[in-house]
Structure 1
Amino acid sequence: MTAPIRVLVCDDQALIRTGLTTIINAQDDLEVVGECGDGRTAVDLGGRLRPDVVVMDVRMPVLNGIEATRLLAGAGVPHPVKVLVVTTFNLDEYVYEALRAGASGFLLKDAPPAQLLHGIRTVAAGTALLDPKVTRRLVGRYAARIRPAEHGPRDLPLTPRELEVLRLIAEGLSNREIAEALQLSQETVKTFVSRILTKLGLRDRVQAVVYAYRHGLVV
């Protein structure tokens, strides 16, 4: 049997933690390995338990969820942990800051249990949870805050076709839509996306969108 996905649940409300833990542990392929009520403990447990996914609230005492995410999954962390931010606050600012901090996804607490479980599995598999169009809207709104980078498009280690694919990712197109736009197969587009992420040292499509804005690939 495949080992279950190991989950750390972090929320300052005990009732919420209990509910999340109950939902997650009811699945054969998921297992809660720890829970906590503040961001500092989340960072400590994340480093010690090495869970596959941390389900992280935003507003918590001692250290908030955004800063805890940055310490667990941000740039420069030697052994980053995947973080799924789950909060009651449907604010673009929170979503943007969570993704910039290194989160792999973002869900609201009023999402149905099936969506939470799907989110955990998606993040554990190494895929960003947000829909590309949602990512495009969020990063587009805060584009001025993430420009400029020292290097422009001409300095990137990408082929012309890879640059084209990266631009379309940043514009919110899915693999299927990119395939249609460039008259390629979806499998070919998937290969291009994988190469782009590898060459640029990016974790997922969310980071690719931010990267494209930073380097002036999208107006």
Structure 2
Amino acid sequence: MNLVDSIDKERLPNHLAIIMDGNGRWAKKQGFLRAFGHERGSESVKEIIRTCIQLGIQNLTLYAFSTENWNRPKLEVDTLMKILVKSLRKELATLEEKKIRLNTIGNFEKLPSSAQKELSSVIERTKNNDKMTLTLALSYGSREEIVNAVKTISDKVKNNIISIDSIDDSIINEHLYTHNLPDVDLLIRTSGEHRISNFLLWQIAYAELYFTDILWPDFKEHDLYEAIISYQKRERRFGKTSEQIK
């Protein structure tokens, strides 16, 4: 039996998030510059998007560039931004054909103007697509996101737009970058690291976590199948007992 045949299409994660880690280490192992690893990593991005579409996953969020990544060598940062712009231009036709809506989360204004322009164009061109929402976390940091939400909510309380007593989970959700997305069901991290790295800290409160030693450029279709099969074997209780779930 093929791995895909073991997947229950009725119990797919509605929102899959991936920390795409290991591009630089993959390149180093091959004797190449880190930039080459990012180029090869973009091939895995395309394969995983295609696989998610085939499976019927509705929401895919990829950790493409964190707020901390700005501290990397300038050459690597510049290369990443060039790959982003090139990929957006190259893949627009596919996004439109497959009815994929592009979305971004993060500090958009910190990105180079060329990246901002390309992103805005593709987001506008794909805004009515409804097969899947592809979200790129760019210049993203979850702590910064939460701090910004707290500031905005505090200002609204100060100006009597909302009352302090009305603040609950839903109010906070409304002020996060991900206000138009459901909570994460499955979070995958590649490369053998076992940490969250400031990614969607609020949104993964009840997510299932899956860690693999595979470096991102080597993460392919069958690896995603294995992650989803692992996810489907778990009992998601959301604080309840097994007996209550059953």
Q: TM-score, normalised by structure 1?
A: 0.31
TM-score normalised to the size of structure 2? Answer: 0.29
Choose between structure 1 and 2 for higher RCO, CA contacts under 8 A separated by at least 6 residues.
Answer: 2
Bigger Rg, structure 1 or 2 = 2
